[in-house]
Amino acid sequence: MAKVIVNGSVSEQAQAGEPITVTFKRPDGTTENLTTTTKTDKSFTLEKVYGTSGVYTFTVIANKTSDYDVATFGPINFTITLATRTVTATVQVVPA
């Protein structure tokens, strides 16, 4: 498994609590929209855990408000490579 953390900020006009949508496109082509909101310093953070290796894409969208048009960042590609593991075993044969 791999934890993906998206950190960002919105321009100075942003207010705390503005909705941010992060769209993840998985290696199989399906998408997932996750939402968060801006903090008082206009930053945002979003975390997601994925268990499949491959190339993902994310796009960040600051939703349209009554004062500002929609703003987007991305798409940005990134690769998740899951750690490999090994299994060891021993066999003991004992006369019956």
What are the domain boundaries of the chain? 2-80
Condensed to tens digits (0 to 9), the pLDDT of residues 40-63 reads 998 999 999 998 999 999 999 988
Q: Architecture of 2-80 per CATH?
A: Sandwich (2.60)
Q: Which one is predicted more confidently, 44 or 96?
A: 44
Cα separation, 71 vs 68, whole angstroms: 9
For the whole model, what pTM was predicted? 0.77
Map tokens 């021993």 to a residue.
90
Q: In Å, what is the CA distance from 4 to each residue of 8, 10, 59, 67, 93?
A: 13, 20, 13, 31, 47
Counting residues of the chain whose pLDDT is more than 70, the rounded percentage is 100
